[in-house]
Structure 1
């Protein structure tokens, strides 16, 4: 159980019962014991890391295996917000990569600094596709740094969809300062900015805080968001779930 909390950062009781094949009563009892040992922190409906901090940045392949159903749900929500003739920016992230599978509109211009997003959209000739270059981060498949930043500073997009590693009150977090800086530039140059985060990213921090939630249009998340978590987020922006 502790390993699952360490891997996800935050996880619900329902997910733990499914993963471990035991009763909810057993899960809650074990969570209580782990909290008493200082290994986890119990929250409403689940548990999270005690220091509210990710232990490591997961690789692209590791992220693909986590919360798949939630990511599909969010990707469909994103696709529903995109209209014909939009110019959009799609940032790095395994959830955002899935948007291609659910889009039903053309024509459209897609700008991205993610090689994985680019590879998905490059399967079709229906989109005007622009890949922003720069220094390549193999761990996430993102192009970052001064070259990417200079290119993005000159662009204007209608909608930007940005993934994060954590959201805590008004702060958005990622694992790498270069990725955060690059994303903040296009967020400033977008008419509408949408934060993409499944429930496991809520009430969680990471290494680099790169943007304020109240400067965004909305956060797109999934149905596992608790009522309390939604109320907290709605103090800063609109919640779509």
Structure 2
């Protein structure tokens, strides 16, 4: 099969099936998986599909969460407050909790009760500053290179420090959430840090404001089977919520 024939086959398959799984296509065509992945990369560069981990999806809406931090603070402010308030009630006295960076996570920190006794581990200076006035919350800051877009620490030092901690909960801020693409973000190193935090926590809770749903970014953090709970706003359309419920994920409506 010639290159242009393979590409047309892939586009036809995407239209009929709604997704492409590279390994399945390589097996059915008797071609190497590398060949199929190369075709998908080229089709993605042409703007004809969206590359995701393990295959491809139809073109997806890009997340507004990829905008600079200051701009993101103005998006869905009321819903982020509600999500932060609902998430804050999940933390119990004495727990060790990872809190991610990002504008929704900041709202979570602001909603924590002043008398809470817990340990918060974070790679976000913004979260640490929010907790200065909480006298009974022990704050542990993870180091690393400052990723200015999200105002968080990233890199090998951050991942190494995470590996030495076991947390009860991880509140993950996301750029994008999609039933097939999973949890994704726009920076490779940030994805590595979020994945390490999830691996080091007994329970991962995703904070998902409405503009992040049904979108995809370049780098996968994790598939959705690693998520215990998703906190969403109660006004999100049921059709957007349904695929996550069907996966067995606990949905908390704020």
TM-score interval w.r.t. the shorter chain?
Answer: 0.7 to 0.9
- Alpha-carbon deviations, 1:124-149, whole Å to 9, x = none? 33211001000111121110000000
Instruction: Answer yes or no: is the 8 Å Cα contact 1:134–1:147 preserved in 2.
Output: yes
Q: Which runs of 5+ in 1 are unaligned?
A: 1-49
Q: Counterparts of 1:70-149 in structure 2 under 5 Å?
A: 70-104=79-113, 105-149=115-159
Structure 1 pair 238/124, CA: closer, same or farther in 2 (3 Å)? closer
Three-state SS of the structure 2 residue aligned to 1:167 is strand
- Alpha-carbon deviations, 1:6-59, whole Å to 9, x = none? xxxxxxxxxxxxxxxxxxxxxxxxxxxxxxxxxxxxxxxxxxxx6423488211
- Alpha-carbon deviations, 1:46-80, whole Å to 9, x = none? xxxx6423488211111111100000110001111
Aligned: 1:202 with 2:213 = yes
**TM-score, normalising length from structure 1?**
0.76
- In structure 1, C-alpha distance between the alignment counterparts of 2:236 and 2:243, rounded to whole Å: 11
- In structure 2, C-alpha distance between the alignment counterparts of 1:94 and 1:121, rounded to whole Å: 15
Structure 1 pair 56/167, CA: closer, same or farther in 2 (3 Å)? closer
Three-state SS of the structure 2 residue aligned to 1:203 is coil
- In structure 2, C-alpha distance between the alignment counterparts of 1:56 and 1:131, rounded to whole Å: 24
The match for 2:235 among 200, 221, 224 is: 224
- What is the match of residue 161 of structure 1? 171
1:111 CA drift (Å): 0.2
Largest Rg, 1 or 2: 2
Instruction: Answer yes or no: is the 8 Å Cα contact 1:155–1:186 preserved in 2.
Output: no
1:218 CA drift (Å): 0.7
- What is the match of residue 60 of structure 1? 69
Three-state SS of the structure 1 residue aligned to 2:89 is helix
Q: When the two structures are aligned, how many residues end up with a matched partner?
A: 192
1:101 CA drift (Å): 2.4
- Alpha-carbon deviations, 1:78-115, whole Å to 9, x = none? 11111111110000111111123222252110000011
Instruction: Answer yes or no: is the 8 Å Cα contact 2:64–2:72 preserved in 1.
Output: no
The match for 2:187 among 159, 162, 176 is: 176
Structure 1 pair 55/198, CA: closer, same or farther in 2 (3 Å)? closer
The match for 1:190 among 198, 201, 226 is: 201
